[in-house]
Structure 1
Amino acid sequence: MSPSTPADAEEAGRAREDVLTALEAIERRVLWLSTAIIDHANRVRPNRSGLKVGGHQASSASMASIMTALWFGQLSAEDRVSVKPHASPALHAINYLLGELDDDQLTTLRAFGGLQSYPSRTKDPDPVDYSTGSVGIGATAPLWGAIARRYVDGHFGGAGTGWQYSLLGDAELDEGAVWEALRDPMVQNLGEAVWIVDLNRQSLDRVIPGIAADALEGMFAAAGWQVLTLKYGSLLRELFARPGGEPLRTRIDAMGNPEYQRLLRCTASELRERLPGAGSTAGPIAELIASLDDASLLAALRNLGGHDLGALLDAFEAIDDTRPTVVLAYTVKGHGLPTEGHPQNHSSLLTADQMAALAQRLGTDLEHPWSRFDEGSQESALCAATADRLRRPARALQAPPEVPSDLGRPAPTGTGTTQQALGRTLLDLTRRAPGAAERIVTVSPDVSSTTNLGGWLNKAGVWSPTEHADWFADDAETILHWRERPTGRHLELGIAETNLVGLLGELGTTWERWGQPLLPIGVIYDPFVNRALEPWSFGIYAGGQSVLVGTPSGVTLAPEGGAHQSITTPSLAIEQPGCLGYEPAFAIDTEWCLLAALGNLGKPEGSSAYVRLSTRPVDQSLAAVPDDSVARERRRRQVTAGAYRLRQHAAPVVTLAAMGAAVPDALAAADRLAALGHGADVVCVTSPDLLFRACQARRGQGRERDQQWVLDQVFPAERATPMVTVLDGHPHTLAFLGTIRNTPVTTLGVTRFGQSGSLEDVHSHHGIDADSIVAAALDLVD
């Protein structure tokens, strides 16, 4: 609001100057603390290994102004910020000034159990809104966090409002995930999303010659974003208004990034020679800068918009809350440090002499580096007021709904697929466990119909902040109804899998952020799981608990050929921390595994899950589910613990351990071996991940709660025989099973790119058909 009188305007001007003076002092302290935190980790703290500890003094310095203006002049308690990885010391410095860290914790950067190398929600002792460190993922996470907040608030309330900020470096814009996120239709109306780009025009190795802000402006604007560019600070803008100022602006505007960075390394006298350049404008520029003393000249050249606190505050006030906003803030990498602007300053460390000089210039003490502001000072008052403003009320964690372990339906008969069982289980949950079903939210990238989610989607509806007309509602030939409304429970993104798992991760943190647990399920084609794995893994690291379903999978896709066949995915869950893995063979197994996975979500001891499903039609009677309720429950427990004995011969000489789509071939092979006089037990593996954990626990390398009992029930010592393992995936996934009883083992699986063809031809080609299993078993028996 504009002041109503000249006196009001004068008072407002004085108040602003007082605030800016305090902010400048805080900015200097943030610069010092972030630099000293890294210095202590590398130069002061004892280092037995001699390895460089590292840290990024220059990267933190370039963000000091932006973060000071944002935290101490803009943020509210409901806002959330993703901080670029290499600025984590600046975040810790701010949290220290706000009372969130003690002195001794500042000495633990990159020490075991101390401050993490990059901001971590789950491992850092101070408040961190988003884990970052995997380039591009931290930039986009607040977009998915905004959608998750809207979803929770619309369905259950209590998530409030608040802005979602991403602080990212310009080199991070090279990541494809950034532009995939910008292009997604769900992002275009997120008015609470603000990206602030640290446009320092440097990467790890060099000054980047080709970064052009006007090109970035055009790309963001084309995606529907508001673009605010902060190129010059008040000192430079004042110079541009003087005689000779316009040629100076033109000269700097036309200057390449490397030349500008080189000028930052010049003394004042060198700058007076180089800055005017050549041509007709050199004279007016030289005359203009001749009017400046050396200190003013050096300060003006560095006075870019990303270091002008007033310009930053004005930009924050200008944000349009009807669409996403990007602030392109020109900065100097290493601003305020002796290394500023140097092309190799990314990982460089200040020397002891440089630290001493920096301490003297910034008004601090190298021998007592962790001093806060004096009590009663304006800076101390601003820190205290900011801490009060940003303090979030403690939220009670609501327990997730009880997920039944068994829906009680008779085991299916006839022919069916595990992929079909996914949709059927979700629909059954709405009828038999509505409390759990209302917490389920599904996410897919334009594959809802082809992954058998159609029935669920028709039942649950598509989530949208506002209701949209379904223009095909009265079309009798339309099977999949796209009803978009705020009560919907399915979110459909574009085709980019990284967007899907980014959203999945944020939906999986709502239990902790707002005390409202969700049961998120993401469904993608299994061949694309590897594409999505890294951001999904990072979401798990950040505390997001979700279920990722990969379907259809394997070479069992047959006619689709090598372009759409997954080989390595069966072992991913074994190798992924914080995740359980399942690959069921039958519809009833799918139900039990999915219910077990959902029951692990939304709580401190919870876990994500990966479920691999197939489109192979399977005779469901082969599952031989016991009719007796006690025997059925025993089977269910074994299914969700990793394996069960599907067929037991009176005198076995070989064991066939099969998983997923390979189980029918294993059963057929067992029949043929019996006809040849060789008894075969058949074990159906539902989770190599859980079996491996049980093996590790039995050796004292796992956790007490890992279910070792399943090894004795499914692989008893008295029935130990040579073993053939088989799956539609890489054979190493099940290779460890031979170590349970130290039996000889032959591992069958897929190790080559796929081929188009019938299922029978493709399985034969890869050696996972019944013929191949029989041959491997006979070799072992002989």
Structure 2
Amino acid sequence: MEAALGFRGSASNGDPLCRPEVLAQVEKRVLWLATAMVHHANKVRETASGVKVGGHQASSASMATIMTTLWLEQLQSGDRVSVKPHASPVLHAINYLLGILGEEHLTTLREFGGLQSYPSRRKDPDPADYSTGSVGIGATAPLWGAIARRVTEGVTGTPSRGRQYSLVGDAELDEGAIWEAVLDPSVQSLGEIVWIVDLNRQSLDRVVPHIAAGRIHGLFEAAGWQVITVRFGRLLESLMARPGGEALRRRIIDMPNPEYQRLLRCEVDELRRRLPGEGADGEAIRALIAEVDDATLHAAIRNLGGHDIDALREAYAQIDDSRPTAIIAYTIKGYGLPTEGHPQNHSSLLTEEQFQQLADSLAEDPSVPWRRFDEGTEANELCVRAAARLRRDPVPPVSPPPVPLDLGRTPTGTGTTQAAIGRALLDLTRVAPEVARLVVTVSPDVSSSTNLAGWINKVGVWSIEERRNWFDDDGETLLHWRERPTGQHIELGIAEVNLVGLLGELGTTWSRWGQTLFPIGTIYDPFVERALEPWSFGMYAGGQSILVGTPSGVTLAPEGGAHQSIKTPSIGLEQPECVSYEPAFVVDAEWALLASMNQLGRPGGKSAYLRLSTRPIDQKLASIPDDAAARERRRRQVVAGAYVLRPEPAPDVQIVAMGALVPEALQAAARLSLQGVRAEVVCATSPGLLYEALQARRGSGDGSSWILDQVFPASKAVPQVTILDGHPHTLAFIATINSVASRNLGVSQFGQSGDVDDVYRAHGIDVDSIIRSALDLTEADAGSR
């Protein structure tokens, strides 16, 4: 059973095996194994390509003490940890000593099929709680993981959670997305959140001169976090307790980061000369260190809090479970290595001589690098007990409830695909309440403008605690903001990166906690690009979700170029593990949404991106068949990628249109027929699925190509005009299905404000442009016969 949230002290509970000297033995072996893994990958294992393998020995070394104390003493089975990317060898070393990872994997770091460069939930032989590697995203994932866990509690009614730790490098705090997440109001009451900042004051290229714990402390504190600073270890503190100690404290605290790092590279005589400095405290410091032997002084200058077991224990014991906590731990990059404190040690590798030097200092044998502790030793027993404490039951297989394929509506009036999503979610509460209960919608302060008001009024807004809605009795208020722990809509403010980060974690609950959710996020389509990296990384980590981009394209003409998306259709085409749809009609949007939901929360499932529009379209143009079998055939074609909307037995030209421009395609076809040109109109709903079908037909994929046979048969291999409100290359490949001539119309320039007709004309996606392109193609085709 996972630990319930509440106050807890150290996991040692007075266990004599948790003495600092025993933990120190484990810490040294962890440092050795982590360093040896990187060394083997670069210096021992042969690589045919000659490309540098790489690794981060120094970045791992700065985390060895923190991670050893955390895993061996503090963590419980219900806790989850996001490990900073460059400390992955430390994670592997610890899991090896705990018996979780086999020895055969230690020689496979960064090898194909082996231990990944950075922790990965899905690709790593070594189990990781969170995938990391994209700066800032892995660090913030536990924030959203904590919310996702609480949402599942609202579904199951069973409170059960552990702490959510993030191990973060100080340079990673430069990423703005971190502070967007930290500052979000929904995070302030998440007491299970604990961040440990590895303050080694170095980045890739240098010692960073302006990293200051005080500034970082202030930022976290201003966000409502508890902040604990672990600056010095016991040895250094003991010197500072002597006469002249306060002068030494001031000197070390006030000196620039590069100056301190330089002290680590000094021999003891040079250290004694440099340490006092030239200020007023110099004499007091000289007098103090004159009474300290060389070995003690050498150790003391390195005795920062992040490498001191007792100092870290004190910090862990102070964690306040009523609010998030940030522990700022001072460390040294490369701690314990021959490259300790070197300003360019970030990705540097130990030479053979330096590796032997490290082995000598740690009493290790490079010819037998992968030793666990002998049975019967205290260190081995400590590892055995930690492994038992951290053991988790496997997550049971999840069978999400089946999502209806069709809600049975046949719209006949004027409607928009954007409004269709809110309507479909409301229908789900009636048609399939067991499915609707698992839907969680997320938006960045655009709920009303993305037509979710009715849904929100029905299901409520998620909140850690219930809050009164002071506008409940206001008759003119249409959107009712009823906040409670069982609410199903989450508002994250205007922060798209936060939104997709949460979507990713809501989309992992089936594999992480054994509870399926159907996460759906709405976002302005132009901002999909801003949110793409974290959403893509969420998919990489196994998060399955639906992102709804609306409104889209230059069809949003009066809003101006800043709100007009151009490239997003091809993003949907190219994004791995994601199906994209751009429906033209309300019923197409509903079918696409339901099909996408049926892909969520299961092994081999996929995310989806729906690109929708606010353009009102006459829904009778969809020509939905009345016959049930014909309607189902249309639905299957819609969710497979395309269907013939205006058929011609022997067309002269095919117009393939997508989304908001389908009405223009139909108008062009009608006018062409008056000129004796038979134009068939195909409504494309998913370029990505069509491309996959084409690849499968060519033997480059394992999908099905039946949709090509039905919509683009060889018997209709005629010239094509493709058109969409987005970049024209998105549909350009369709001409290669039957190797026909084509003209590809779309938007390839920044947009501008104006009436829709004027803007369409400016970009060459109006009815006249379609007709001209079709006539050019048919005349050229006739001339070549």
- TM-score, with structure 1 as normaliser: 0.97
SS at match of 1:107: coil
Cα deviations across residues 418-472 of structure 1 (Å, max 9, x unaligned)?
A: 0011111111111111111111110111100000111111111111122111111
Counterpart CA distance in 1 for 2:427 and 2:398 is 24
The letter for the 1-side match of 2:711 is V
Paired with 1:759 and 1:145, the residues of 2 have a C-alpha distance of 42
- Indicate whether 1:252 and 2:249 are aligned: no
Instruction: Give the Cα separation in 2 of the matches to 1:606 and 1:772.
Output: 40
**Separation in 2 of the partners of 1:753 and 1:723?**
25
User: Is residue 319–residue 325 contact of structure 1 (8 Å, CA) maintained in 2?
Assistant: yes
Q: How does 1:510-549 map to 2 (within 5 A)?
A: 510-549=509-548
* Paired residues of 1:650 and 1:679 also in contact (CA < 8 A): no
CA distance in 1: counterparts of 2:16 and 2:660, whole angstroms: 69
Deviation sequence 1:551-601 (CA, Å, 0-9, x none):
111100010010100000011122111111100000010010000000000
Q: Identity across aligned pairs (percent)?
A: 67
1:441 aligns with 2:445: no
CA contact (8 A) 2:155 2:437 kept: no
Shift of 1:14: 9.2
Matching residue's letter, 1:497: E
1:402 corresponds to: 402
Aligned ranges 1:328-477 → 2 under 5 Å: 328-409=328-409, 411-477=410-476
**What is the alpha-carbon distance in structure 2 between the residues aligned to residue 245 and residue 465 of structure 1?**
47
Aligned to 1:739: 736
Give how far 1:50 is off.
Answer: 1.1
Q: Distance in 1 between matches of 2:587 and 2:13?
A: 71
Verify the 8 A CA contact 2:18 2:73 in the aligned structure 1: no
Q: Give the aligned partner of residue 687 of structure 2.
A: 688
**Residues of 2 paired with 1:15 and 1:259: CA distance?**
41
Greater shift, 222-231 or 645-654, is seen at: 645-654
Partner amino acid, structure 1, of 2:208: I
Q: CA deviation at 1:158?
A: 5.2
Q: Which of these residues, 742, 745, 751, is aligned with residue 754 of structure 1?
A: 751
SS class of match (2:643): strand
Return the alpha-carbon distance in structure 2 between the equivalents of residues 14 and 757 of structure 1: 73
Give CA deviations for 1:698-722 in whole Å, capped at 9, x if unaligned.
111112xx23000010001111100
For 2:361, what is the secondary structure of its paired residue? helix
Deviation at 1:330?
A: 0.4
C-alpha distance 241-725 of structure 1, shift in aligned 2 (>3 A): same
SS at match of 1:289: helix
Q: Secondary structure at the match of 1:689?
A: helix
1:56 aligned partner: 56
1:652 partner SS: coil
Residue in 1 aligned with 2:4?
Answer: none
2:75/2:390 contact within 8 Å kept = yes
Which residue pairs with 1:653 in the alignment?
Answer: 652
Q: Which residue of 2 aligns with 1:220?
A: 220
8 Å CA contact 2:665–2:681 kept in 1: the answer is yes
Deviations 1:158-206 (A, max 9, x none): 5721000000100000001111001111011111101100000000000
Partner of 1:717: 714
Paired with 2:476 and 2:83, the residues of 1 have a C-alpha distance of 49
Determine if the alignment matches structure 1 residue 72 to structure 2 residue 72. Answer: yes
Matched, 1:315 2:315: yes
Aligned-residue offset at 1:15:
6.1
Residue 302 of structure 1: SS of its match in structure 2?
coil
Q: Distance in 2 between matches of 1:59 and 1:502?
A: 25
- In 2, the alpha carbon distance for the partners of 1:69 and 1:679 equals 75
1:5 aligns to what? none
CA distance change for structure 1 residues 484 and 73 in 2, over 3 Å: closer, same or farther? same
CA distance in 2, matches of 1:683, 1:766: 21
CA distance in structure 2 between the partners assigned to 1:261 and 1:608 by the alignment = 46
SS of 1:168's equivalent? Answer: strand
What's the CA shift for 1:245? 1.1
Aligned residues: 768
Question: How far does residue 397 in structure 1 lie from its aligned partner after superposition?
Answer: 2.1
Distance 2:293 2:331 in 1: 23
8 Å Cα contact 1:571/1:733 also seen in 2: yes
Q: Secondary structure at the match of 1:451?
A: coil
Alignment of 1:173-184 (within 5 A): 173-184=173-184
Q: CA deviation at 1:395?
A: 2.3
Q: Is the 8 A contact 1:519 1:602 kept in 2?
A: yes
CA distance in 1, matches of 2:510, 2:525: 27
Q: Equivalent residues in 2 for 1:6-405 (5 A)?
A: 19-157=19-157, 160-405=160-405
- Measured in 2, the distance between the counterparts of 1:682 and 1:83 equals 52
Specify the alignment match of 2:665 in structure 1: 666
SS of residue matched to 1:218: helix
Q: How far apart, in 2, do the equivalents of 1:388 and 1:157 lie?
A: 28
- SS of match in other structure, 1:733: helix
Q: Which shows bigger deviation, 152-161 or 171-180? A: 152-161
Change (3 A) 1:758 1:602: same
Q: Corresponding residue for 2:643?
A: 644
- Structure 2 unaligned runs (5+)? 1-11, 780-785
1:72 is displaced (CA, Å) by 0.6
Which residue in the other structure is 1:4 paired with? Answer: none
Give the whole-Å Cα distance in 2 for the aligned partners of 1:183 and 1:742.
Answer: 54
Distance in 2 separating the partners of 1:312 and 1:590: 54
Match of 1:729 in 2: 726
Q: Which residue of 2 aligns with 1:772?
A: 769
* Structure 1 residue ranges without an equivalent (≥5): 1-11
Give the Cα–Cα distance (whole angstroms) in 2 for the partners of residues 723 and 673 of structure 1. 14
Residues in 2 aligned to 1:428 and 1:720: alpha-carbon distance in whole angstroms: 41
Partner Cα separation in structure 1 for residue 269 and residue 559 of structure 2: 69
Tell me, in whole angstroms, the C-alpha distance in 2 between the residues paired with 1:143 and 1:457.
23
Deviations 1:468-496 (A, max 9, x none): 11111111101001111122111111110
Contact 1:236/1:301, CA 8 A, preserved across alignment: yes
* Whole-Å separation in 1 of the counterparts to 2:617 and 2:604: 35
CA shift digits 1:659-683 (9 cap, x unpaired): 0011010000000110111000000
Work out the CA distance in 2 between the residues paired with 1:334 and 1:651: 73
Out of 151-160 and 691-700, give the one that drifted further.
151-160
Alignment correspondent of 2:783: none
Which residue in 2 is equivalent to 1:565? 564
Pairwise CA distance, 1:254: 1.1
Instruction: Give the SS at the match of 2:679.
Output: strand
Contact 1:642/1:687 (8 A) holds in 2: yes
Structure 2 CA distance for partners of 1:382 and 1:570, relative to 1, 3 Å? same
CA distance in 2, matches of 1:481, 1:679: 52
Cα shift at 1:622: 0.4
Instruction: State the partner residue of 2:9.
Output: none
Alignment of 1:499-510 (within 5 A): 499-510=498-509
Cα deviation 1:686-739 (Å, max 9, x = unaligned): 000000000111111112xx2300001000111110000000000010000000
Q: 1:64 offset after TM fit, Å?
A: 0.3
Q: Which amino acid aligns with 1:99?
A: G
Distance 1:258 1:17, change over 3 A: farther
Provide TM-score, normalisation by structure 2. 0.97
- Label 1:311 to 1:646 Cα distance change in 2 as closer, same or farther (>3 A): same
Structure 2 Cα separation of the partners of residues 457 and 278 of structure 1: 65
Note the C-alpha offset of 1:28: 0.3
Distance 1:17 1:686 in 2: 63
